[in-house]
Amino acid sequence: MLANKRLSKYYITISLCIACVIRTSAQQDIPSANSILKNIKAPTFKDAVYNITAYGAVADSKTDSKAAFDKAISLCSTNGGGMVEVPAGKFFIAGPVVLKSHVNLHFDDGAELIFSGEPKDYLPAVISLWEGTELFNYCPLFYAYQCSDIAVTGHGIINGSASLNFAKWRPQGSAEQTKLRQMGGKGTPVYERVFGDNAHLPPDMIQFFGCKNVLIDGITIHDAPYWVIHPVLCNNVTVQHVTIESMNLNNDGCDPESCTNVLIQKCDFTTGDDGVAIKAGRDQDGWRIGQPTENIVVRDCIFKSKTNGLCIGSEMSAGVRNVVMYNVYIKKCLSAIYFKSNLDRGGFIENIHVYHIQCDSARSAFIRFENNYHGSRGGHYPTLFSNFLIQKVNCNYSGEVGIYAVGVDGNPLKNISLQSVRVIKTPRDEVIYNAENLTYRSVYINNNALAKPTDTGVIQLHSD
């Protein structure tokens, strides 16, 4: 309810309206939100209720309710679907919630689910995607595999208890991360990529893998172990009215990966990493699976992030296209509107429309295009960036630069139109290099009108 009140206040204060797509010769393929939304519809469920207390769950915050959840979900799915109800009270669960087809897991007002923080409770390992690479790893706290018509709804609180163990792990640069990267690069069969027990790659909070007709609506999430909401290889996904307050390492808010037809709306994310990061697999695994992420709408959200606000990349080897992001308020972040890849990633980012974005404070850049994010190993597969329309976006303060658009030699950024852009204060107006057909219209930075981009050469910025 608090998130909804904040959002309502934001809508009234900002008074943003949906703008029509402005098409130019350089942006003929950029979609409108309506052309994407017509293919997204929340699933519906049978009128049948399975209350977890009828199967042994006890709201005392300490009795393990894992068996009760499993039984209620299985019966509901087997009988053709319906609602598995979590009533008011604090329930403890020592292990993951594994959803099945045609099940709506619904949290009543006053319901709270407290997950065990013990890694052993999330074994045996399951097939999942970890930073864009397939493996068998600890089970995500909410998990579904190749299911249809699934949902997590209601106004309950979900506590991942990650601070007890998972959030203390530091996988970046670890031996396990390096091993997984090597397996992905060499094409090691996925069944041989077994991590989990004795490894230290934290699971996601919510990962639905290979599912269709997915809804996540209304819940509040605290203390997540890694990426918070991570649909993988899914079609027709709606994430709405979700509040995230989780500041652990790599706590991205929502990361649709290799998904089609996704709507993220009316959410309030306070996160330890990106607010929304749209992804499509990493390097050889992304190419092997070959599923682009396409037809995505992000709208009417509030973000406060330790790193970035609206982001595409850097795991995006199968390509990202047809994305519309609008009516978003970013309180604080590192970079606000950020498209990132590196020279090993391949793929493409194309046909992107961003409009009506308000950012209070970005520590690095307001608008950022970066094709050599965190360097690369071989540098043989630069990503293609083309067809971006960014309009009616404003930032009060950007700590390093207003506009950063840096392509690489032999692979310039292409066809970027910036219209009605304003940055009130920043130490540097722009950093531009290898950007082909980058145009400005009504761009004001530090109260100066920028008529056209000026090639400045490469300057490195702070990265997440």
| Residue 417, domain CATH | 2.160.20.10
Mean pLDDT of the chain: 93
Query: So what's the pLDDT on residue 264?
Result: 98
Query: So what's the pLDDT on residue 379?
Result: 72
Question: Does residue 22 carry a pLDDT above 60?
Answer: no
Dist. CA 420–CA 445, nearest whole Å: 11
Domain membership flag for residue 457: no
Average pLDDT over residues 11-21: 39
Domain membership flag for residue 442: yes
**Number of domains composing the chain:** 1
Q: Is the dihedral of CA 138, 140, 142, 147 positive or negative?
A: negative
Q: Is 410 exposed, middle or buried (0-12, 13-18, 19+ CB in 10 A)?
A: exposed
Other Cβ atoms less than 10 A from the Cβ of 93: the count is: 23
Max alpha carbon distance in the chain (Å)?
68
Dist. CA 394–CA 282, nearest whole Å: 32
Domain membership flag for residue 190: yes
Average pLDDT over residues 380-406: 96
Other Cβ atoms less than 10 A from the Cβ of 375: the count is: 10
Q: Look up the domain containing 351 and give its range.
A: 2-450
pLDDT tens column, 108-144: 999 999 999 999 999 999 999 999 999 999 999 999 9
Domain membership flag for residue 464: no
Other Cβ atoms less than 10 A from the Cβ of 172: the count is: 9
Q: What confidence tier does 149 reach under pLDDT thresholds 50, 70, 90?
A: very high
Q: Measuring CA to CA, how many Å separate 306 from each of 16, 194, 290, 341?
A: 25, 31, 31, 19
Domain membership flag for residue 77: yes
Dist. CA 263–CA 256, nearest whole Å: 10
Domain membership flag for residue 458: no
Domain membership flag for residue 232: yes
CB 355 within 8 A of CB 323: no
Query: So what's the pLDDT on residue 462?
Result: 80
206-209 sheet: strands from edge to edge: 97-98, 142-145, 206-209
Question: Does residue 352 carry a pLDDT above 60?
Answer: yes
Q: Give this prediction's pTM.
A: 0.94
Domain membership flag for residue 249: yes
Query: So what's the pLDDT on residue 409?
Result: 87
